[in-house]
Amino acid sequence: MTAPDTSLAALTVDTCIVGDDPGGHAVALALVAGGLSVALVRVPRPGPGGQEFGGHELARRLAALRDIDQAHGWAAAMRRIAEANRDTATREHPRRLAAAGIRVVEGEARFIGPRSLAAGGLAITARRFVLATGSAEAPSPWPDLPAGRVLTPETIWELTAVPTSLAVIGSDGTAAALAQAFRRFGATVSLFATGGLLPGLHPDRSHALRDRLVAEGIDVFEDAEVSAVQPDGEGLAVTATRGGDRDRLRVSHVLHVGDRRPVLDGLDLDAAGIARDGAGLRVDSGLRTSNRRVLALGDVSGGADPGLSLRQAPALAAALLFNRAVGVSDVMPVMAVPTRPALIEIGLSETQVRAKDRSARLLRLPLAESAAPGAGRGHIALVLSGAGKVLGAGIVADNPEPLVGPLALAISRQLSVQDLAAIQLPYPAVSDVIGKAVAPIIAARLSNHWTRRIIRMVRMVG
């Protein structure tokens, strides 16, 4: 065990939040409102964006980039996104957190025991710790290439002009979103999605996006493995292998979209008895690490969803306030890809539901049959239990926002399709979409022999 450092001033709080993830802010504010003493340690982040650039910020920028009119040009788009980022930074400024009663500590942090952390000249002792350090882009596999030619999702925002030709190497939603954005701003784009585009997403949805990317002029290679990226004159050459054949593509820039890794370096997890699991932490379903006094939030808990920490925050805050565990059902699974069409999956998949309920079924409705404004061509897929409860949903739509709310509500409350149809919405087109989705099921229930007998009896009485 590490010997105590007597040079550090002592600080004792109920809960110490380590990291600057927005979900950590939300937990800290909730705990202070509940009367607990809270310290929040703002740990310096690696990477070009530093303190302000994590997975949540990347997702926010990608969504903004999707919605910007490309006719205004790249430079104007970057200015708008930078202005929005400054507004967000002002809202989340440390002084605002301190004004709420949170003790904000700046500086490197490291555990010095199972219940103590050294940071900012303080030895902080807490009943519970929450790791909310977020994630950072994995290092480029080609660090020796010319500066500025190999881009990452954290460095593209520094570009003053769109690359003339770009090879995007990656298979997740970030790679797809950036490939589409650069193409719409005028770049010639090739997307190398080794192992398939958007693995883990339902094939209906990933195929719909692939078709749109190809239609927009992006070369999509799902079966090609990039074996080398080398300097080639003033640009780069990408060598890819497909079915035993090797192809060489010349481009001006390469955008590498690698895995994001939890920011854990320097924390001295061993001193607190916190076990790792690969690049991340070993975390149970209640967000607890191997040290039961230390919990993980967002990217640190093993999630790849940038909005996960904010969805976990209410459940985690309630668990800390009322001394209970976070339940598996407290946080709804969500996956969102900020492209056009946007791809969204909420709740359980058809496979997950069928594993427990053989009578479960999938109800699929093409959006082309509706009048949903701006939805574009796409579909809604509802995963229903045998009893008609809505347990999951998938959306493919250019403008999915009006559809997400009622579907997420239905899933979180496990409403029936009749309940979903009964929700009165201010968007008639959304009601139209949902009404068409549930009408066949309601009709089937009304045509049931026993239901019809009840209807006849009621009519005889009345």
How does pLDDT run across 342-353, given as a tens digit for each residue?
A: 999 999 999 999
Placement of tokens 């202005």 in the chain: 83
Instruction: Count CB atoms within 10 A of the CB of residue 13.
Output: 20
Pair 381, 403: CB distance under 8 Å: no
Pair 415, 390: CB distance under 8 Å: yes
- Residue partners of 401: CB distance under 8 A and separation at least 6: none
Mean pLDDT of 38-58: 73
Pair 247, 176: CB distance under 8 Å: no
Mean pLDDT of 270-297: 92
The two structure tokens encoding residue 401: 């926002």
Mean pLDDT of 200-211: 91
For 49, counting Cβ atoms within 10 Å of its Cβ (0-12 exposed, 13-18 middle, 19+ buried), the class is buried
Give CA–CA dist 449/447, Å, rounded.
Answer: 6
pLDDT in tens, 409-445: 899 999 988 888 777 777 655 666 667 766 776 777 7
Weakest-pLDDT range from 45-49, 104-108, 313-317: 45-49
Instruction: Count CB atoms within 10 A of the CB of residue 402.
Output: 19
Q: Are strands 116-119 and 225-232 parallel, antiparallel or unpaired?
A: unpaired
Pair 21, 54: CB distance under 8 Å: yes
Terminal-to-terminal C-alpha distance of the chain: 80
Confidence (pTM)? 0.87
pLDDT in tens, 311-366: 899 999 999 999 998 987 888 889 999 999 999 999 999 999 999 999 998 888 78
Give CA–CA dist 425/103, Å, rounded.
Answer: 43
Give CA–CA dist 357/461, Å, rounded.
Answer: 38
Give CA–CA dist 74/184, Å, rounded.
Answer: 10
Bridge partners of 117, per DSSP, are: 111, 124
Question: Which letter, b or e, does each residue of 187-198 get, where b requires 16 or more Cβ atoms within 10 Å of its Cβ?
Answer: bbbbbbbbeebb
Estimate to the nearest angstrom the gap between the alpha carbon of 90 and the chain centroid.
Answer: 23
For 100, counting Cβ atoms within 10 Å of its Cβ (0-12 exposed, 13-18 middle, 19+ buried), the class is middle
For 424, counting Cβ atoms within 10 Å of its Cβ (0-12 exposed, 13-18 middle, 19+ buried), the class is exposed
- E strand or H helix that includes residue 233: none
The two structure tokens encoding residue 361: 């079924």
Q: Give the pLDDT of residue 462.
A: 63
pLDDT in tens, 387-399: 889 999 999 998 8
CA distances for 386 relative to 26, 277, 375, angstroms: 37, 37, 29
Average pLDDT along the chain: 86
What pLDDT band is residue 171 in, cutting at 50, 70 and 90?
Answer: very high
Instruction: Count CB atoms within 10 A of the CB of residue 406.
Output: 21
Asked if the model's pLDDT at residue 10 lies above 50, the reply is: yes
Pair 124, 294: CB distance under 8 Å: no
Residue (of 248, 224, 219) closest to 236 by Cα position: 248
Residue (of 247, 77, 239) closest to 169 by Cα position: 239
The three-state secondary structure class of 169 is strand
Q: 3-state DSSP: the chain helix, strand, coil percent, rounded to 5? A: 35, 25, 35
Q: Give the pLDDT of residue 51.
A: 47
pLDDT in tens, 117-150: 999 999 999 999 999 998 888 888 888 888 789 9
What pLDDT band is residue 6 in, cutting at 50, 70 and 90?
Answer: low
Give CA–CA dist 182/153, Å, rounded.
Answer: 12
